[in-house]
Amino acid sequence: MKELQLYRHAKAKKASPGMMDRERQLSGEGELQARYIGGLLHDLDFRPDVVLASTAARALSTAKITMHASACKARIVELPHLFDAEVDTYVESIRSNGGESDRIMVVGHNPVIEEFVERLIGRHIELKTGYLARVLIDIAEWKSFTLDGAPAFELAALLVPPR
């Protein structure tokens, strides 16, 4: 059994005039959200083995702050193509980067994070900024991960930061 953690980046600041969307930083609230989720991952012992993160500033900061707050030494793999991706791109990224890990976290963006969870579990779950969905995947190795057979995976938990 493997675990996939699909994590929508924490709350970001609004873009300044002329700023590219990828450059948006976390707001103060977003930093608090990431620290809170990191604390939950630590306290519940849900720390990932590897983190796949969009290189958008807000997603990468979410990953780094969360890992620090969870006292987790997981490798963070920066993947530029997760910024404006489809579900199939996320699946391929997991297959390519999962290796021998049991628990993978993907830090990305809506609408694809919500679409991905929906395809995995067969029902829609709203993932606001800073929400993390833990999905149990019944496979032996990540390289065999597909959406064939979905929705047959189990939503184990939804971690929600305070608002």
What does the pLDDT look like over 117-158, one tens digit per residue?
999 999 999 999 999 999 999 899 999 999 987 667 899 999
Label residue 19 by pLDDT band (50, 70, 90): confident
Q: For all residues of the chain together, what is the average pLDDT?
A: 95
- The residues spanned by each domain of the chain are 2-11+25-159
Strands 103-108 and 50-54, how do they pair? parallel
Residue 21 has pLDDT above 90, yes or no: no
For residue 141, what pLDDT is reported? 94
* Fold of domain 2-11+25-159: Rossmann fold (3.40.50)
Distance, in Å, from the CA atom of 65 to the CA atom of 52, rounded to the nearest integer, reads 14
Sheet holding 103-108, edge to edge: 75-79, 50-54, 103-108, 2-8, 132-137, 154-159
Largest CA distance in the chain: 48
* pTM over the 0.85 mark: yes
For residue 151, what pLDDT is reported? 64
